[in-house]
Structure 1
Amino acid sequence: MSSGTVQLRAVTRRFSLGATSVTALDRVSLTFPRATFTAVMGPSGSGKSTLLQCAAGLDRSTSGSVTLGGTELTDLSETELTLLRRERIGFVFQAFNLLPSLTAEQNVALPLRLAGRRPSKARVREVLEQVGLGDRARHRPTELSGGQQQRVALARALITRPEVLFGDEPTGALDSRTSREVLDLLRAMVDREGRTVVMVTHDPVAASYADRAVFLVDGRVNGELTGAGAEDIAARMTRLETAPC
């Protein structure tokens, strides 16, 4: 399997709530090929975030398998999983999670420092330039707009040259113009750099930037749309949200 390809086979994730058990994912099988952009959508409680967490090695599935390239995540120890996430996976969330006392360039360099590696100033500046913030390297988060902070978070995710970038509502806290800027950056990472992007979103406009939108309902895959526009994606979501239980 090529580097950057994520594959889930019959992945189930159950959570115990007292005496009851809740199935968040129910035998989900999906492939996210290298150099593609996939949006994961579905009604509230459909299992979107759980899918992302299992695919990214942030959570362990109850059964089934998850592979990144040729690596089976379900066989790894916690230490091995931590190393894999640090070296091969990038994350961008709705909350920017920047340290307010650090400058943009210091926030970007943080993953390398935490890994015990000395960050190259040239590499830090390179990824800041990549997200259009080369002139904001010494600014702290309070001196940046929300969109600029999210771009710093994106640069931080890219500093290790990850094979896969996972986003959980990465534009959820942004206005429409700033959202488009961030989505354009994600799209360019796929088209120009061959990265794999998997993004959970509730926004049909955001999903229209992806190559395909995969829909979940009650922890199961409920079809997908390829190359669809925002209107078609919104119509599909409306049908899913209004369908009888």
Structure 2
Amino acid sequence: MTEKQAAVVRLRQVRKVYGTGPAAVTALDGVTIDFPAGSFTAVMGPSGSGKSTLLQMAAGLDHPTAGEVSIGGVRLAELSETRLTRFRRDRLGFVFQSFNLLPFLDAELNVALPLLLAGRRPGRAAVTAALAAVGLADRLRHRPAELSGGQQQRVALARALVTGPDVLFADEPTGALDSATGRQVLALLRKAADEHGQTIVLVTHDPVAAGYADRVVFLRDGRVVGDLVDPTPVAVADRMTALEAGPGGVGEAGPMRAGEAESR
């Protein structure tokens, strides 16, 4: 296994149950999956399939009911809450559909915030470079209200990347954007994997967004039911249609390449 193929994020038999007794809801049901270093993986599935729960477990944002999650060989369950918080801050990046920018800070300070919270003096060159990488070098002094939605999401992406995270988790980051702006954000995520070797885990409902990934993992009812390598939007849409049709769809067939899916 090459360095690029080595798994940086591992989930083993992860279960997540919310509530107890008759009201208990199983969001994840024994998920085992690897996310290779330097890869770009999209996670898809029907509504309620467990996509966002999978991301929360993989990123250490919530604790599984059972099973094990490790990142870079570190078992998250063995970390105290303080150490886990520090680990997420130092090693991971997050981008969500809501931009979560502080409205009273300009773009430069919003990007520098993770470094400030870590007690590190943010070098202006690093912050400027992060904003330049997302095409916003000329927006340093603009506050969120002075930026478009797409620009705000790119500031959020620069903030996630400024610490040089090993893994970047993105939950529907283009959901609030128009298609053209969404493509810009997805291209930046693709670049982070290709040029900087960062591992990208993207939760999305959009086949076009999934088409930027190396692989799409499909969930249904809290379980992994297949994946698609080298996806195209058409192949992803066909797979999702089958999944939403219920048990027995093509999602049960396991991994295949996009070309194979389209030829069937």
Matches within 5 A, 1:171-186: 171-186=174-189
Cross-structure match for 2:122: 119
Within the alignment, does 1:57 sit opposite 2:60 as a pair? yes
- Residue 244 (structure 1) shift: 5.3
Q: Deviations over 1:19-39 (max 9, x none)?
A: 421111011000000000000
Pairwise mapping of residues 96-115 of structure 1 onto structure 2 (< 5 A)?
96-115=99-118
CA distances 1:153-211 after superposition (whole Å, capped 9, x unpaired): 00000111100000000000000000000000000000000000000000000000000
Contact 1:4/1:195 (<8 A) preserved: no
Counterpart of 1:139 in 2: which secondary structure? coil
Mapped contact 2:46–2:243 kept (Cα < 8 A): yes
Counterpart CA distance in 2 for 1:161 and 1:201 is 23
Does residue 128 (structure 1) correspond to residue 135 (structure 2)? The answer is no
Tell me if structure 2 keeps the 8 A contact 1:4–1:163: no
Structure-2 separation of matches of 1:4 and 1:169: 23
Match of 2:19 in 1: 16
In structure 2, the residue matched to 1:82 is 85
Q: Does structure 2 retain, via aligned residues, the 8 Å contact 1:4–1:196? A: no
1:145 to 2:145 alignment: no
CA apart distance, 1:124: 0.5
Determine whether 1:169 maps to 2:140: no
RMSD: 1.5
Alignment TM-score, normalising by the size of structure 1: 0.97
| Residue 66 of structure 1, aligned match among 51, 65, 69 | 69
Per the normalisation by structure 2, the TM-score is 0.90
Gaps of 5+ in 1: none
Q: Are the equivalent residues in 1 in contact too, given 2:136–2:151 (CA < 8 A)?
A: yes
Q: Distance in 2 between matches of 1:80 and 1:106?
A: 25
Alignment partners' CA distance in 1, 2:207 and 2:136: 27
* Farther-moved stretch of structure 1 (235-244 vs 221-230): 235-244
CA deviation map 1:46-77 (0-9, x unaligned): 00000000000000011111110110111111
Matches of 1:177 and 1:4, distance apart in 2: 32
SS in 1 for 2:227: strand
Q: For residues 57 and 226 of structure 1, what CA distance do their matches in structure 2 show?
A: 26
More relative contact order, 1 or 2 (CA 8 Å, 6+ apart):
1
1:18 Cα deviation from its structure 2 partner: 6.4
| Residue 226 of structure 2 corresponds to residue 218 of structure 1 | no
Give the corresponding residue for 2:232.
229
- Report the equivalent of 2:42: 39
Determine the C-alpha separation between the residues in 1 that align with 2:87 and 2:26.
27
What is residue 242 of structure 1 aligned with on the other side?
A: 245
Where 1:57 maps in the other structure, the secondary structure is coil
Q: Kindly state the Cα deviation for residue 134 of structure 1 after the two structures are TM-superposed.
A: 0.5
Provide the C-alpha distance between the structure 1 equivalents of 2:233 and 2:205, rounded to a whole number of angstroms.
Answer: 11
Counterparts of 2:183 and 2:140, CA distance in 1? 22
Structure 2: unaligned runs, 5 residues or longer? 249-264
- Runs of 4+ aligned structure 1 residues displaced above 4 Å come to 1-4
Deviations 1:130-154 (A, max 9, x none): 1111111111111111111000000
Moved more, 30-39 or 67-76: 67-76
The alignment status of 1:199 with 2:205, answered yes or no, reads: no
Return the letter of the residue paired with 1:110.
Answer: L
